[in-house]
Amino acid sequence: MLVLGLESSCDETAAALVEDGVRVRGDAVASQVDVHAEWGGVVPEIASRHHVINLIPVLQTALDRAGARLDDVDGIAVTRGPGLVGALLVGVQAAKAMAWARGIPLVGVNHLEGHLSAVWLDGAQGPGFPHLALLVSGGHSELVIARDHGVFEVLGATRDDAAGEAFDKVGKMLGLGYPAGPVIDKLAQTGDPKAFALPRPMRGRGLDFSFSGMKTAVLTIVQREGVPTGQRLADLCASFQASVIDQLVRKTHAAIEQHHVKQLQVAGGVAANRGLRAAVGELCTSLGVELFVPSPARCTDNAAMIAAAGYWRLQRGERADLTLNATATLPLSEPA
Ligand code: KG4
Ligand code: ZN
C-alpha cells in the first residue's frame, strides 16, 4: 500500500510516499528556517503563507523521487494536529482536495504519533509492543507507553517548556540563531559540562519534566557576565545540555523501572542530539533495555513519519471524510 504523507504543522512543508508503513519511496522537505530566523522563532502567519507556496512543489518533488504519480497513491495521511492551526490547515485542505478529486482514502494523523512511527522507517526492525517512548521535540516532551500503533498511555509530560523549546530559547539568549538545538549540540561537544552548575530539578519519582528553571539560570548568567564567547560559550552550552539530558535520562530510567519495559524508543527533533543519543545508549546498556532511535533526519519533522502512522490507521479501516479539520492541541492519548 503506497501512502502519501503531508506535514505542515509548524515551519516545515513536507511530503513523502511510503510503502507499507516502512519503505520510503520518495520524500521532500521545504524548510522555512531562513524565513523565520530573523524573528528568532516561527511566525505563524508567515509559516502559513509559505506552506501555500511550498506545498505543490514539495509534493511534486516527492512524487518524482518515488517515480510515482498521484494515481499510484492508495491512501493520503495528513497531520491534523497539534500545531499552528493556520499552518495545519494548508496540509489538511490540500489532502482533502486530492482525496475528494481522486477518490483516494484519507486519514488524519496526530503529529506526535508520526514522530513515534519514524522508528520503523527505512527497513529498521523497530520495537515491539508495549514499549516505552521518550518523545522530545520543539513543542512536546513526554514519556509514553506505546501499546500498539496509535494506542498510547502518557506517563508524564513537561510542566512548562518542551526540551527543544528550552534549547531554542537558551540559544536565542546566547545569540545562536533559530533553531538553536543543533548549534548547542555542536558547541557542547567541545565544552566542559561541569563548568557551570545549572539546576537539576524534578528529583522526585514523578515522571513529569520541567525545563524553565535551567533556562532562567542561563539568563541569570548572561545578565551577570554578558553573553560568553569562545571556550566559555562552549562550556555554557555543554553545561545546559548536560542538565537537560540529566533530567531526560533520570525520568526515562524511573519510567523503565516503574513500568518494567524491555524496549525504549527516543523520538522527536531533540532525539537528534548527540549527547542525548549517547546518554540513553549508556542507560539502556546498563539496564539491559533494547534501544531504538530513528536516524537524525527522521527525528526532525518530515512527512514519511506521517505516512507511516497513517498506514497503520488505514490498515485498520479508518477513514476521514471532508469534515476533517485542523486542531491546535491534540493529546497523544486521544484517538485520531
Ligand atoms: O520534532 P521537531 O522537528 O519539531 C517539533 O515537532 O517541534 O523538533 C524541533 C526541535 C527544535 O526545538 C530544535 O532545536 C530541536 O528539535 N533539535 C535539537 C537538535 N536538532 C533539533 N535539539 C538538540 N540537539 C539537536 N541536535
Ligand atoms: Zn515534530
Return the ligand number nearest the Cα of 7.
2
Residues 28-48 pLDDT 10s: 999 999 999 888 889 999 999
Cα–Cα distance measured from residue 318 to residue 336, given in angstroms and rounded to the nearest whole number: 9
What average pLDDT does the structure give for the chain?
96
User: How close is the Cα of 209 to the center of ligand 1, in Å?
Assistant: 17
Q: Please tell me if the CB atom of residue 268 comes closer than 6 angstroms to any atom of ligand 1.
A: yes
pLDDT number for residue 335: 57
**Ligand 1, atom 23, residue with closest C-alpha:** 181
User: How close is the Cα of 269 to the center of ligand 2, in Å?
Assistant: 6
User: How close is the Cα of 271 to the center of ligand 1, in Å?
Assistant: 8
Distance spanning both ends of the chain, measured CA to CA: 20
Over range 256-264, report the average pLDDT. Answer: 98
Ligand 1 atom closest to 167 (CA): 14
CA distances from 241 to 85, 189, 193 (A): 31, 10, 8
Ligand 1 atom closest to 163 (CA): 12
Residues 56-104 pLDDT 10s: 999 999 999 999 999 999 999 999 999 999 999 999 999 999 999 999 9
Residues whose CB falls within 8 Å of the CB of residue 185, separated by 6 or more in sequence, listed in order: 241, 272, 273, 274, 275
Record the cell numbers describing residue 279, joined without a space. 546518554
Residue of 161, 300, 330 to test ligand 1 pocket, by largest number of atoms within 8 Å of CB? 300
Q: Please tell me if the CB atom of residue 11 comes closer than 6 angstroms to any atom of ligand 1.
A: no
Exposure of 335 by Cβ count < 10 A (0-12 exposed, 13-18 middle, 19+ buried)? Answer: exposed
Rounded to 10 degrees, the C-alpha dihedral 136/138/140/141 comes to 30
**Do the first three CATH levels of 2-118+298-315 and 128-293 match, i.e. the same topology?**
yes
Cβ(134)–Cβ(267) below 8 Å = yes
Residues 221-242 pLDDT 10s: 999 999 999 999 999 999 999 9
Return the CATH fold of 2-118+298-315.
Nucleotidyltransferase; domain 5 (3.30.420)
**Ligand 1, atom 22, residue with closest C-alpha:** 181
Record the cell numbers describing residue 116, joined without a space. 513515534
Residues 288-328 pLDDT 10s: 999 999 999 999 999 999 999 999 999 999 999 999 999 99
Q: What is the CATH number of domain 128-293?
A: 3.30.420.40
Cα–Cα distance measured from residue 285 to residue 22, given in angstroms and rounded to the nearest whole number: 27
Q: Please tell me if the CB atom of residue 167 comes closer than 6 angstroms to any atom of ligand 1.
A: yes
Smallest CA-to-CA distance from 252 within 208, 298, 188 is with: 208
Residue 230: which region, alpha, beta or left (left: phi > 0; alpha: psi -120 to 50)?
Answer: left
User: How close is the Cα of 29 to the center of ligand 2, in Å?
Assistant: 13
Smallest CA-to-CA distance from 265 within 304, 308, 309, 295 is with: 295
Q: Please tell me if the CB atom of residue 241 comes closer than 6 angstroms to any atom of ligand 1.
A: no
User: How close is the Cα of 82 to the center of ligand 1, in Å?
Assistant: 16
Q: Please tell me if the CB atom of residue 164 comes closer than 6 angstroms to any atom of ligand 1.
A: yes
pLDDT number for residue 321: 97
| Domain regions of the chain by residue span | 2-118+298-315, 128-293
User: How close is the Cα of 136 to the center of ligand 1, in Å?
Assistant: 8
Q: Please tell me if the CB atom of residue 191 comes closer than 6 angstroms to any atom of ligand 1.
A: no
